[in-house]
Amino acid sequence: MLNLEWFRTFKAIYETGNLSTAAQALFISQPGVSVHLNSLEAYTGYRLFERLTKKMIPTERGIMLYNCIIDPITKLQEAEESFHRNSKVEKPTISVGMGFEIFKYTLEEHLAQLPFNLVLRFGDYRQILQELDTGKLDLILTPIKGSQTNLEYIPFTKERIILICGNETDTEQFDHLVLTNERTAIRQWLKEQIWYTTAADMEYLQHFWMANFDCLPDLKPNYVVPYFSSILRCLSKGKGFAVIPDFLAKKELALQSVKLAWEGSPHVENTLHFGKRKKTAYPHEIRQLEQILTMNWF
């Protein structure tokens, strides 16, 4: 299906004569510009530029296409700029990507007081990182960093991955195995227990297992539920184990509705970063969000 963003990218390349300059003008990465151009050429069936070392020379078909689209694209851009100015007078709209439970933990209660509109995107970290790069998102909270030069990452905090269990779980034998550091026996004992996971947390479990047992987990979860909060509610009323970021379980651990079974040795930690584009139209609003997230976290 034809994507109008391909035409915007084509116009920027045509007018700048350079992929990197076009990327800067569009606030997206150079690979993103290349993807748009390749997609448009595949769709039209024609080569639109001759690629030289530092210059993009339009072909005859490229010149024809530019002459066809320049007026309608210009009118669309004028309409967009007019709408954008109006929206800025009222409320700008900021698009943010993060994990659903980080949102509930840090930001949900503040939505009604925000002086701007907010569009939230919940997805896995690699997906929201890609959407930040392509311009769909303005700010993300992520433990992984990309290599795109148009993006920057600011360390925010650390999350420790821990093993928790339900209050009714008998851990006497497990505690002894941990005390004597019998890793093979610990792993075998854990494999025989009741396990809870979410569909999205296997990466946490894999990191914890690899760090402590030098292999990937070879257990089959008994219950796969939507969110970590669901796991915490289930464990507060029964038996079982789960690997979870420590900040999500702070309240339950303090109330002793779940137990800390093991922090692991070595500890498994991720650094969470604010990810954003180096050039943005909303630096003030993004800074406000960073302050709210930081204040609530700590």
110-127 pLDDT tens trace: 888 888 899 999 878 888
In angstroms, how far is the first alpha carbon of the chain from the final one? 46
* Confidence band, pLDDT 50/70/90 cuts, at residue 34: confident
Task: Quote the pLDDT of residue 166.
Answer: 94
Task: Quote the pLDDT of residue 258.
Answer: 95
Three-class SS of residue 249? helix
- Provide mean pLDDT across the span 176-201: 90
Dihedral, 48, 53, 55, 60 alpha carbons, nearest 10: -30
Task: Quote the pLDDT of residue 200.
Answer: 60
Task: Give residue-wise pLDDT tens across range 195-246.
Answer: 999 876 577 888 999 999 999 998 889 998 888 889 999 999 889 999 999 9
93-157+271-296: CATH, from 3.40.50.360, 3.40.1350.10, 3.30.413.10, 3.40.190.10:
3.40.190.10
DSSP annotation of 96 reads E
- Fold match between domain 4-86 and domain 158-269: no
**Tally of CB atoms within 10 A around 75:** 10
Cβ atoms of residues 155 and 258 within 8 Å: no
* Confidence band, pLDDT 50/70/90 cuts, at residue 75: confident
- Provide mean pLDDT across the span 86-96: 72
Residue 147 in this model has a pLDDT that exceeds 80: yes
Domain range summary for the chain, segments of one domain joined by +: 4-86, 93-157+271-296, 158-269
Residue 82 in this model has a pLDDT that exceeds 70: no
Percent of the chain topping pLDDT 70: 95
For residue 140, give every residue at least 6 positions away whose Cβ sits within 8 Å of its Cβ, in sequence order, or none.
Answer: 96, 97, 98, 125, 128, 129, 131, 132, 274, 275, 276
Residue 88 in this model has a pLDDT that exceeds 70: no
Measured distance CA(9)–CA(28) in Å, rounded: 10
Residue 15 in this model has a pLDDT that exceeds 80: yes
Task: Quote the pLDDT of residue 201.
Answer: 57
Task: Give residue-wise pLDDT tens across range 169-180.
Answer: 999 999 999 999
More confidently predicted of 187 and 26: 187
Task: Quote the pLDDT of residue 191.
Answer: 94
Place of tokens 């970590």: 228
Task: Quote the pLDDT of residue 119.
Answer: 92
Summary mean pLDDT of the chain = 87
- Ramachandran angles phi, psi of 270, nearest 5°: -120, 140
Please name the fold of domain 4-86: Arc Repressor Mutant, subunit A (1.10.10)
Task: Quote the pLDDT of residue 240.
Answer: 95
Measured distance CA(119)–CA(97) in Å, rounded: 9
Residue 84 in this model has a pLDDT that exceeds 70: no
| Pairing assessment for the beta strands 268-277 and 139-142 based on DSSP bridges | antiparallel
More confidently predicted of 82 and 142: 142
Q: What is the CATH number of domain 158-269?
A: 3.40.190.10
